[in-house]
Amino acid sequence: MGIEWQGLDEVVPQCLETLRKLLDPVLFDLASTTSVVDFVVDPRPCIGCGCVLLPRGLTWEDVTRRGMNHPDMGPFAAYGWVDVDPTRPLEQLVSLAATEVQHMAMAMIWTRTGTGGWPLCPTHETHPLWPYPDRDLGVAVWECRKAGLRIPIGELSGT
């Protein structure tokens, strides 16, 4: 189980540095809070900077074929996409990356355990926290608006 980066030799160093800045806090939270999720982060050579998130064992070519499915994804989309728009603030980019990772994680957790929601709200324990860019703090957070709870993305292990 875990997260694997692949295709690192196909991406320019600046893009890889940016992707790590966006994804490392989210992947830290994922690794700190669940052991049933494993997928691949595959930087794609494209205009700009981006990556795809794939279930382990699939390639980009696999997920772009019609009719493809994967037992770990059930009825959910078989991949996620993180696209870096350098005009957006960092907290917004981290929040968008967290949303893609969250979709992949929730699908894998649901199909493997029958439970949903990641990361689980530590106050209510009945729903997930949601990623939001906190413009006041200048960071992306996991948030439960009902409880007024905000945890910076990358700091879930302390909850």
88-117: per-residue pLDDT in tens? 999 999 999 999 999 989 888 888 888 878
38 versus 98: the higher-pLDDT residue is: 98
The SS3 call for residue 102 is helix
- The structural domains of the chain, with segments of one domain joined by +, span 2-116
The SS3 call for residue 88 is coil
pLDDT at 70 over 60: no
For every residue of 19-74, DSSP letters joined together read HHHHHHHHHHHHHHH-SS-EEEEEE--SSSEEEEEEETT--HHHHTSTT---TTTT
56 versus 71: the higher-pLDDT residue is: 56
101 CB-contact burial (10 Å; exposed 0-12 / middle 13-18 / buried 19+) = buried
Confidence of residue 123 (pLDDT cuts 50, 70, 90): very high
CA distance linking residue 100 with residue 19, whole number of Å:
13
Percent of the chain scored above 90 by pLDDT? 39
- Enter the pTM of the model: 0.86
pLDDT the model gives residue 101: 93
CB 16 within 8 A of CB 8: yes
Confidence of residue 76 (pLDDT cuts 50, 70, 90): low
Confidence of residue 159 (pLDDT cuts 50, 70, 90): low
